[in-house]
């Protein structure tokens, strides 16, 4: 009897030792869904009734402000979020541009196919990182995801259709997330082009923007409720971001550039107010800068000489001279004056340019944590951390996002 008792105790001790040294079983594979609402300024959440986005924060995390990279434009920042690189490194420096190295145009009228040409895109977007590590991904209209970057596209992707209703985009994402498990994407990134369009037309301080924000919130509510109905909802992480904010324009604060400079010196230019990259006739860049020095309410610099804080880089697509309007000022030409009431592209230190970041899911804290403003170069690393991917080299840092995470399994 005593011998049996000793054997039992010995067996229990061995079992405890085994339990202590065997690692925890791998948690269930998690999913990540990232939604970008173009031009959703950070303070729209305070100005409008947004119960669905508020719920995400209450049971997850939010940033006070999400800081874009410079220039604070759509293509540049969507691709920065995807790669963790600033525009001066990944090369998507404007929504459309001339590439002096290849002699080709990107996304100019008549050059739509260039958007699907991977040679224009530097860095490694997160869907390429995932696909090369055996993970299925899907994108609906995210900048860069139509192209064969490094010869790779997402397993599922959509060619951009501006007029595709938002509810159809929701249906597309839900379809992907209901595929059989072996075909189901673990990463889904999708895009809405509002409230950017209305922000340009109305201006962000116009009260008429509020119903649109509330409508977008209700659409997100529809999307989230349908996610909740999925049997694997408890494995899904949700991130909602925007690429930039929006500034109110004052019609009295308009710089007519051709009143100050000799336009015959300009070969071409990319971008639009408030930030423009100019190609200047060979040998005349200094003359052009001397003329710009007399222009009020702008800043300008030669390529590679931008303020260090902007980290604009030296990419050849930045051309010879960059001109940036002061906050709330616009750059126009006497023969073509914009009637927009809102704009973005300004210095990324301007809070009007800052966007939103909200997140919820098994990888995130669930205590309504409010994070101090942080830069969008860290989003790539956050996505890689959640999906347990080996990340590419980026301008972001892992330490910058760890406070957002529930690190029990990390």
> What sign does the dihedral 300-306-310-311 (CA atoms) show?
positive
Q: How many CB atoms neighbour CB 206 within 10 A?
A: 14
Q: Is 251 exposed, middle or buried (0-12, 13-18, 19+ CB in 10 A)?
A: exposed
Known catalytic residues are 74
| Element at 2 (helix H, strand E) | helix 2-21
Q: Which residues of 58-80 are buried (b: 16+ CB within 10 A; e: fewer)?
A: eebbbbebbbbbbbbbbbbbbbb
Tokens standing for 162? 């501006």
Q: How many CB atoms neighbour CB 131 within 10 A?
A: 18
Which string of DSSP letters, residue by residue, matches 20-37? HHSPPPPPPPPEEEEEEE
- d(C-alpha 303, C-alpha 317), whole Å: 9
Classified as helix, coil or strand, 63 is: strand
Bridge partners (DSSP) of residue 323 are 276, 300
Tokens standing for 391? 């990340």
| Element at 277 (helix H, strand E) | strand 275-280
CA-angle at 54, arms to 61 and 185, nearest 5°: 65
- d(C-alpha 158, C-alpha 266), whole Å: 37
Bridge partners (DSSP) of residue 299 are 324
Classified as helix, coil or strand, 111 is: coil
User: Smallest Cα–Cα separation from 266: which of 246, 292, 237?
Assistant: 292
């Amino acid at each position: 009897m005593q011998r049996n008792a000793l054997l039992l105790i010995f067996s229990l001790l061995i079992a405890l030792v085994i339990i202590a040294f065997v690692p925890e079983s791998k948690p269930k594979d998690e999913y990540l869904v990232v939604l970008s609402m173009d031009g959703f300024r950070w303070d729209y959440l305070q100005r409008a009734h947004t119960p669905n986005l508020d719920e995400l924060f209450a049971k997850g995390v939010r940033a006070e402000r999400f800081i874009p990279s410079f220039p604070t434009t759509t293509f540049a920042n969507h691709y920065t979020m995807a790669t963790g690189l600033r525009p001066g490194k990944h090369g998507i420096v404007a929504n459309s541009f001339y590439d002096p190295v290849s002699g080709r145009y990107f996304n100019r009228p008549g050059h739509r196919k260039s958007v699907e040409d991977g040679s224009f895109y530097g860095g490694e977007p997160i869907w390429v990182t995932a696909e090369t590590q055996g993970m299925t991904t899907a994108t609906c209209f995210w900048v860069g995801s139509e192209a064969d970057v490094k010869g790779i596209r997402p397993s599922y992707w959509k060619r951009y259709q501006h007029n595709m209703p938002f509810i159809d985009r929701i249906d597309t994402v839900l379809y992907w997330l209901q595929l059989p498990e072996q075909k189901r994407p673990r990463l889904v990134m999708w895009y809405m082009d509002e409230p950017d369009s209305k922000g340009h037309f109305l201006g962000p301080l116009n009260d008429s923007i509020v119903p649109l924000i509330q409508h977008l919130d209700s659409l997100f509510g529809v999307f989230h409720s349908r996610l909740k109905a999925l049997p694997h909802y408890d494995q899904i992480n949700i991130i909602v971001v925007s690429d930039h904010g929006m500034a109110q324009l004052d019609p009295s604060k308009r710089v007519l550039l051709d009143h100050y400079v000799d336009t015959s010196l300009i070969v071409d230019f990319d971008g639009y107010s408030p930030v423009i990259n100019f190609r200047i006739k060979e040998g005349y860049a200094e003359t052009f800068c001397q003329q710009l020095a007399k222009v009020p309410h702008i800043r300008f610099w030669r390529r590679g000489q931008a303020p260090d804080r902007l980290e604009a880089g030296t990419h050849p697509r930045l051309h010879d001279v960059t001109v940036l309007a002061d906050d709330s000022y616009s750059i126009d030409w006497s023969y073509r004056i914009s009637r927009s009431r809102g704009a973005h592209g300004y210095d990324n230190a301007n809070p009007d340019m800052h966007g939103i970041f909200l997140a919820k899911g098994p990888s995130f804290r669930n205590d309504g944590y409010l994070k101090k403003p942080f830069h969008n170069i860290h989003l790539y690393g956050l996505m890689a951390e959640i999906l347990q991917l080996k990340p590419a080299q980026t301008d972001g840092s892992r330490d910058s996002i760890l406070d957002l995470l529930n690190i029990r399994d990390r």
